[in-house]
Amino acid sequence: MGTPDRVPLPGRLAAWLRDNDPGLAATRRAGRAALVMPALFALCTQVFHAPVIATYAAFGSFSMVLLVDFTGPMVQRLRAQVGLAVAWALLICLGTVVARWTLAAVAATVVIGFLVLFSGVVSSVLAGASTALLLAFVLPVTSPAPVSELPERLAGAGLAAAAALLAISLLWPRPTADPLSAPAARVCRAAAAQLRADASRLAAEPDAPSVTHCRVAAASAAAAAAELRAGFDATPYRPTGLSTGSRAVVRLVDELTWLSAIVAESALPDVEAPACDRDAHAVRRAVAVVLERAAELLDAPRGPADALRAACGELSAVIDGMEHGATTRLPVNRPRPATEAEIRAFLGSLDLSFRAQELGFATLQIAGNVDLAAAAERRSWRERLLGREPGAVGRPLASARERAAAHLQGGSVWLHNSLRGALGLGVAVALADITGVQHSFWVLLGTLSVLRSNALNTGQNAVRALGGTLAGSVLGAGLLQLIGGHSTVLWFLLPVAVLVAGIAPAAISFAAGQAAFTVTLVILFNIGRQPDWHIVLLRIEDIALGCGVSVLVGLFFWPRGATAAVDRALAAAYTDSARYLAGAVRYAVGRCADGPAPVAAPEQENRQAAAAARRLDDAFRSYLAERGAKPVPLADMTTLVTGVVGLRLAADAVLGLWQRAGEQPDGTDRADARLVLLGTADHVCVWYRDLASGLGSRTTVPAPMPPDQAAEARLVASLRRDLSDEDGKATDTAVRIIWTADHLDATRRLQSGLAAAAKPTQTP
Same domain, 627 and 673: yes
Q: Which of 296, 302, 276, 309 is nearest to 377 (CA)?
A: 302
Range of the domain at 698: 561-761
Same domain, 159 and 232: no
- Give the Cα separation of 342 and 671 in Å (integer): 23
**pLDDT (0 to 100) of residue 557:** 64
pLDDT, tens digit, 9 for 90 and up, residues 227-262: 887 766 555 434 444 455 656 666 777 678 778 877
- Whether residue 288 has pLDDT greater than 90: yes
Cβ neighbors of 4 (< 8 A, separation 6 or more) are none
Same domain, 430 and 339: no
Final residue of a structural domain among 176, 202, 219: 176
Cβ density class 514-547: b for 16+ within 10 Å, e for less:
bbbbbbbbbbbbbbbeebebebbebbbbbbbbbb
pLDDT higher at 346 or 271: 346
Burial, 600: exposed, middle or buried (Cβ in 10 Å; 0-12, 13-18, 19+)?
Answer: exposed
When mean pLDDT is compared across 98-102, 183-187, 319-323, 581-585, the lowest value belongs to: 319-323
Cβ of 304: how many Cβ atoms within 10 Å? 11
CA separation, residue 609 to residues 121, 417, 582, 674, 697 (Å): 20, 25, 12, 24, 20
- Give the Cα separation of 442 and 465 in Å (integer): 12
Q: Is residue 389 part of a domain?
A: no
275: left (phi over 0), alpha (psi -120 to 50) or beta: beta
Average pLDDT over residues 465-484: 76
Same domain, 413 and 447: yes
Average pLDDT over residues 304-314: 92
pLDDT, tens digit, 9 for 90 and up, residues 680-733: 899 999 999 999 988 877 778 888 998 877 777 777 777 666 555 555 556 677
Provide the mean pLDDT of the chain.
78
Q: Is residue 394 part of a domain?
A: no
**pLDDT (0 to 100) of residue 726:** 54
Q: For 304, which DSSP code?
A: -
Q: How many domains does the chain have?
A: 4
pLDDT, tens digit, 9 for 90 and up, residues 619-665: 776 676 665 556 677 678 878 887 887 888 889 888 888 887 765 54
- Whether residue 15 has pLDDT greater than 60: yes
Same domain, 212 and 279: yes
pLDDT, tens digit, 9 for 90 and up, residues 335-369: 455 555 555 556 555 667 777 888 888 898 899 88
Same domain, 367 and 414: no
**pLDDT (0 to 100) of residue 177:** 59
- Whether residue 155 has pLDDT greater than 70: yes
Q: Is residue 513 part of a domain?
A: yes
**pLDDT (0 to 100) of residue 709:** 75
Three-state SS for 200-250 is HHHCCCCCCCCHHHHHHHHHHHHHHHHHHHHHHHCCCCCCCCCCHHHHHHH
Output the domain CATH number for residue 362. 1.20.58
pLDDT higher at 469 or 148: 148
* Percentage above 70 pLDDT, the chain: 71
- Whether residue 284 has pLDDT greater than 80: yes
**pLDDT (0 to 100) of residue 118:** 87
Q: Is residue 231 part of a domain?
A: yes
pLDDT, tens digit, 9 for 90 and up, residues 540-558: 666 667 667 766 676 666 6
Same domain, 51 and 77: yes
Q: Is residue 396 part of a domain?
A: no
Tell me the angle at which helices 634-659 and 244-265 cross, rounded to the nearest 10 degrees.
70
Same domain, 577 and 453: no
Same domain, 161 and 229: no
Q: Is residue 393 part of a domain?
A: no
User: Is residue 99 very low, low, confident or very high in pLDDT (cuts 50, 70, 90)?
Assistant: very high
**pLDDT (0 to 100) of residue 393:** 44
Q: Is the dihedral of CA 288, 290, 293, 298 positive or negative?
A: negative
Average pLDDT over residues 527-533: 67
Q: Tell me the residue type at 653.
A: A
Same domain, 364 and 231: yes
- Give the Cα separation of 684 and 182 in Å (integer): 37
Q: Is residue 14 part of a domain?
A: no
Q: Is residue 304 part of a domain?
A: yes
Average pLDDT over residues 408-436: 79
User: Is residue 196 very low, low, confident or very high in pLDDT (cuts 50, 70, 90)?
Assistant: confident
**pLDDT (0 to 100) of residue 304:** 86
Q: For 148, which DSSP code?
A: G
| Alpha helices per DSSP H over 129-210 | 130-141, 150-170, 181-202
DSSP lists the bridge partners of residue 724 as 730
- 727 backbone dihedrals φ, ψ, rounded to 5°: -90, 5
Entry pTM: 0.72
- Give the Cα separation of 141 and 123 in Å (integer): 26
Same domain, 165 and 185: no
443 and 546 Cβ atoms separated by less than 8 Å? yes
When mean pLDDT is compared across 96-100, 114-118, 452-456, 593-597, the lowest value belongs to: 452-456
Same domain, 573 and 530: no
pLDDT, tens digit, 9 for 90 and up, residues 109-130: 999 999 998 888 777 678 778 8
Give the distance from CA 756 to its chain's centroid. 22
Final residue of a structural domain among 176, 202, 237: 176
**pLDDT (0 to 100) of residue 242:** 43
- 693 backbone dihedrals φ, ψ, rounded to 5°: -65, -40
Final residue of a structural domain among 523, 557, 591: 557
DSSP lists the bridge partners of residue 730 as 724
**pLDDT (0 to 100) of residue 360:** 87
When mean pLDDT is compared across 41-55, 392-406, 594-608, the lowest value belongs to: 392-406
- Whether residue 58 has pLDDT greater than 60: yes
Instruction: State the Cα angle at 381 between 375 and 385, rounded to 5°.
Output: 100
